[in-house]
Amino acid sequence: MTKREFDKEAFKKDVVAYLKTLYRKSINEASMQQIFNAVAYSMKEMIVDEWWDTHKAYDEQDVKMVYYMSMEFLMGRALGNNLINLQAYDGVKEALEELGLDLNVIEDQERDYALGNGGLGRLAACFLDSLATLGYPAYGAGIRYKYGMFKQEIRDGYQYEVPDDWLKNGNPFEIRREEYAKEVRFGGYVRVVTDETGRNHFVQEGYQAVRAIPYDLPIVGYGNGVVNTLRIWDAEAINTFNLDDFDKGQYQKAVESENLAKNIVEVLYPNDNHYAGKELRLKQQYFFVSATVQAAIKRYLKKHDDVRKLHEKVCFQLNDTHPTVTVAELMRLLMDEYKLTWDEAWDVTTKTCAYTNHTIMAEALEKWPIELFSRLLPRIYQIVEEINRRFIEDIKAKYPDCADYKIQKMAIVYDGQVKMANLAIVAGFSVNGVARLHTEILKNQELKDFYEMFPNKFNNKTNGITQRRFLLHGNPLLASWVTDKIGNEWITDLPHIKKLEIYATDKKAQQEFMQIKYQNKLRLAKYIKENNGIDVDPRSIFDVQVKRLHEYKRQLLNILHVIYLYNQLKDNPNMDFYPRTFIFGAKAAAGYKIAKLTIKLINSVADVINNDASINGKIKVVFIEDYRVSNAEWIFAASDVSEQISTASKEASGTGNMKFMLNGALTLGTMDGANVEIVEEVGIENAFIFGLSADEVINYEQNGGYDPMQIFNNDQDIRRVLMQLINGYFSPMDPELFRDLYNSLLNTQSTSKADTYFILKDFRSYAEAQKRVEEAYKNEAWWAEAAIKNVANVGKFTSDRTIQEYVDDIWHLTKLK
């Protein structure tokens, strides 16, 4: 592909012209939001030419295409990333300065794309970046949420969920592609028609339908002229208003079709604590899957006439269980629309669909009530039942002596539920985990029966991150320093950064590195002051845990340890103590009571500690509101300590650990997920490891033997911390406020097991590791050396490597020429 060069003068003229055309204003008259839009539209003109060239090359070269199917894509902001990958950032910055404008201020006008939430969505975004940068043909496929998950506001320490109206000012980078609209059907019933040959045909009738409208977003490859596409689907009513129903007084029914469409794309992950929420989630999943699969087949048939060979040019990669209904929808289309037999359709489907498992947590392996699934997707349910029937016959044939046990473990339809992970494993030609430890646990524990039956399907693809977003864009000071030392090859070949290791013991390089870290800490301290009103010392240790709030990620362990340190300081005001700033950032799912209460606890502890003059500011606690990609970049750059403290065996991989490592933070963590591989790369001496191993956790879970009450009884410091949860120390107006957290650690009044995630069991080991952190940080030369070594050994954890492994082992794509 041919990369176009940036024309500074043409760009300046375009910005001025757009302001006049769109708003009839000059630069001096326009608002910053209007200037952002003008800059974005001007950049889009540069992108669109390469975009069309890329798609033309797709067709001319008849490439195989991967469709990366995901409920979420945590894209962050687009402008800066596009400028970086177009290699136009410096040119645009200079052009805007000549117009009297600051690019940093303009970037801040853009809202983060509200298309994702946690690591799953951010991984998908990194993968799209790497696919384009490596020159591989790909579409991302998801939903154009109007409000995303939610915008988090903290009021009186509590999380409040408010709509994130990210599209309020439009999205200059998207293109509406109405010509590719598809119809998606829900409900009704299936009528069977037998033709003259005796073949049955299945016709869905009495259904509700919505129109899926694709919006295409450009995914710009770094410096190679390749622009791939993230296609997100909006929903519109086919018949927006039924006058007949309205005239009969049935006002709700008159707009039923419009409301159905509107609800589907309103929010990411609607609360599914109730039946209506479950139904909406299933509608969302089927909506974008059906539209994408329909479009993929249509695109294939433009150049090919035999749908039986679809797998030669198309691969659907299912990003966790959310899109696994792809299996049945592809079967439906191949049989009902393209008239293939069952065996023909199954042959195509099982060569086209591949599944990535992202979790060991049983509750995240989606299961749908049969009643809901069959009512909402009647034809899909018929197909799933038939897949299940045939699979059970295979089980009986292969395991005649223990068929009932195997069916209980592996059936797709069982116990009144449709089990989506089982469907994906049975139909997929590949099943991969996302870190070596995670994959081994899947093979030996969670999916052991499937692995025994289908050993050749299972493989590992350790996750990765894009260095272009999280170093080149997110930490420009460090990126420039790295480039000055070793050249810029690391931007597209991260293992090249290994050359930096020779500077780890260089005194001058250490000083330069620590000064860059200090500047980044100053930047974050300013952000915290502006947004939280808290003064933090940039020379303190920035100890950071930012990630989705879940019990297994153990933010509770972190804040309990903060209370423990605070108690020590209160008891011994003159003790040797290096100042610490504990920084948290996390969203809790709207219906997740314990997680939301943990946020309240963190903020209540912060209120007490931050306002206690007696400790002389030696501890500060900060909860950063509305954690997202744009503020994450600043947080990673400023961090000294990377808290990766999940219960061993529970975190599939983690990618925050890699982003911290890339920015020179040292890992404080358990041997869980990708932490294991990080420690292998950088050396255990350059990290702080603590806690139970995965095997020890699994042994306790399977065989018992752990009683947290024994720790409570025998460890006075831990008992004191836990009693402070229920004696009003951090909630004087409501001493019972944190009772559920207390109960979750010691009994089964709030949870099914006491201390499910071994917080008290790991507490002392964690506290000792934290003490090692403090001692190590006092030795600035040692810390600088270890931090530089972390950056130098991050090469394995680029998403470029992960994508190349997917290409080599699963997708078998050819690069665009």
Per the residue annotation, which of 144, 151, 547, 550 is the catalytic one? Answer: 547
Per the residue annotation, which of 77, 144, 358, 550 is the catalytic one? Answer: 358
Whether the Cβ atoms of residue 670 and residue 774 lie closer than 8 Å to each other: no
Q: In whole angstroms, how far apart are CA 593 and each of 157, 246, 588, 750, 751?
A: 14, 41, 9, 10, 11
**Nearest by Cα to 344 from 199, 198, 192:** 199
Contacts of 10 (CB under 8 A, 6+ apart): none
Q: Which two tokens stand for residue 697?
A: 């956790």
At 668, give phi and psi (nearest 5°). -110, 110
Write down the pLDDT at residue 449: 97
- Residue 134 CA from chain centroid, whole number: 21
Is the pLDDT at 174 greater than 70? The verdict is: yes
Write down the pLDDT at residue 242: 53
- Residue 632 CA from chain centroid, whole number: 13
Q: Is 529 a catalytic residue?
A: no
**Beta bridge partner(s), residue 425:** none
DSSP 465: B
Whether the Cβ atoms of residue 793 and residue 666 lie closer than 8 Å to each other: no
Neighbours of 519 (CB within 10 A): 14
Contacts of 401 (CB under 8 A, 6+ apart): none
Write down the pLDDT at residue 240: 59
Pairwise CA distance, residues 211 & 372, whole Å: 22
Write down the pLDDT at residue 253: 55
Question: Mean pLDDT for the chain?
Answer: 95
Write down the pLDDT at residue 254: 47
Write down the pLDDT at residue 742: 98
User: What are the tens digits of pLDDT across the range 803-815?
Assistant: 999 999 999 999 9
First and final CA of the chain: distance in angstroms?
Answer: 6
Number of C-alpha atoms within 13 angstroms, CB side, residue 319? 24
Q: Considering the chain, what percentage of its residues have pLDDT values greater than 90?
A: 92
Q: Is 483 a catalytic residue?
A: no
Write down the pLDDT at residue 198: 87
Write down the pLDDT at residue 396: 98
Spell out a b/e string for 610-634, using b for 16 or more CB atoms within 10 Å of the CB, else e.
beeeebeebbbbbbbbbbbbbbbbb
**Beta bridge partner(s), residue 208:** 186
Q: Which two tokens stand for residue 220?
A: 């710009």
Helix extents (H) in 141-274 = 243-247, 251-254, 256-264
- Residue 809 CA from chain centroid, whole number: 23
Average pLDDT over residues 479-493: 98
Average pLDDT over residues 301-307: 96
- Which pLDDT band holds residue 251 (cuts at 50, 70, 90)? very low
Q: Which two tokens stand for residue 241?
A: 């208003």
Average pLDDT over residues 767-776: 98
User: What are the tens digits of pLDDT across the range 610-628?
Assistant: 999 999 999 999 999 999 9
Q: Is 655 a catalytic residue?
A: yes
- Which pLDDT band holds residue 243 (cuts at 50, 70, 90)? very low
User: What are the tens digits of pLDDT across the range 668-689?
Assistant: 999 999 999 999 999 999 999 9
User: What are the tens digits of pLDDT across the range 626-670?
Assistant: 999 999 999 999 999 999 999 999 999 999 999 999 999 999 999
Q: Which two tokens stand for residue 645?
A: 């403290």
Average pLDDT over residues 92-112: 95
Write down the pLDDT at residue 244: 57
Whether the Cβ atoms of residue 661 and residue 620 lie closer than 8 Å to each other: no
Pairwise CA distance, residues 620 & 11, whole Å: 46
Helix extents (H) in 623-686 = 629-638, 656-662, 675-682
Counted residue by residue, the chain has a size of 817
More confident residue, 577 or 250: 577
Read off the amino acid at residue 20. K
Pairwise CA distance, residues 179 & 213, whole Å: 8
Is the pLDDT at 158 greater than 70? The verdict is: yes
Per the residue annotation, which of 655, 667, 798, 802 is the catalytic one? Answer: 655
Q: Is 547 a catalytic residue?
A: yes
Write down the pLDDT at residue 270: 85
Per the residue annotation, which of 517, 548, 620, 650 is the catalytic one? Answer: 548
More confident residue, 241 or 224: 224
Q: Which two tokens stand for residue 147?
A: 């409000």
Is the pLDDT at 306 greater than 60? The verdict is: yes
Whether the Cβ atoms of residue 663 and residue 470 lie closer than 8 Å to each other: yes
Question: What are the percentages of helix, strand and coil residues in the chain, rounded to 5?
Answer: 55, 15, 30
Pairwise CA distance, residues 739 & 745, whole Å: 10
User: What are the tens digits of pLDDT across the range 116-126?
Assistant: 988 899 999 99
Q: Which two tokens stand for residue 554?
A: 């153990």
Pairwise CA distance, residues 628 & 547, whole Å: 9
Indicate the helix (H) or strand (E) that contains 82: helix 79-85
Number of C-alpha atoms within 13 angstroms, CB side, residue 259? 7
User: What are the tens digits of pLDDT across the range 345-394?
Assistant: 999 999 999 999 998 877 778 999 999 999 999 999 999 999 999 999 99
Write down the pLDDT at residue 361: 79
Q: Is 659 a catalytic residue?
A: yes
Neighbours of 717 (CB within 10 A): 14
Q: Which two tokens stand for residue 544?
A: 């950071």
Pairwise CA distance, residues 209 & 13, whole Å: 46
Neighbours of 608 (CB within 10 A): 16
Contacts of 726 (CB under 8 A, 6+ apart): 735, 736, 738, 739, 742
**Strands 353-356, 314-319: parallel, antiparallel or unpaired by DSSP?**
parallel
Write down the pLDDT at residue 466: 98
Spell out a b/e string for 146-170, using b for 16 or more CB atoms within 10 Å of the CB, else e.
bbbbbbbebeebebebeebebbeee
Per the residue annotation, which of 122, 468, 553, 801 is the catalytic one? Answer: 553
Read off the amino acid at residue 463. N
Q: Is 262 a catalytic residue?
A: no
Instruction: Work out the burial of residue 693: count CB atoms within 10 Å of its CB; fewer than 13 is exposed, 13-18 middle, 19 or more buried.
Output: middle
Q: Over 206-237, what HEC string results?
A: CCEEEEEEEEEEEEECCCCCCEEEEEEEEEEE
Indicate the helix (H) or strand (E) that contains 792: helix 780-792
Write down the pLDDT at residue 259: 81
**Nearest by Cα to 423 from 388, 389, 377, 454:** 388
Average pLDDT over residues 107-112: 95
Per the residue annotation, which of 332, 650, 659, 801 is the catalytic one? Answer: 659
User: What are the tens digits of pLDDT across the range 319-351?
Assistant: 999 999 999 999 999 999 999 999 999 999 999
**Strands 200-205, 189-194: parallel, antiparallel or unpaired by DSSP?**
antiparallel
- Which pLDDT band holds residue 751 (cuts at 50, 70, 90)? confident
Average pLDDT over residues 733-740: 97
At 143, give phi and psi (nearest 5°). -120, 140
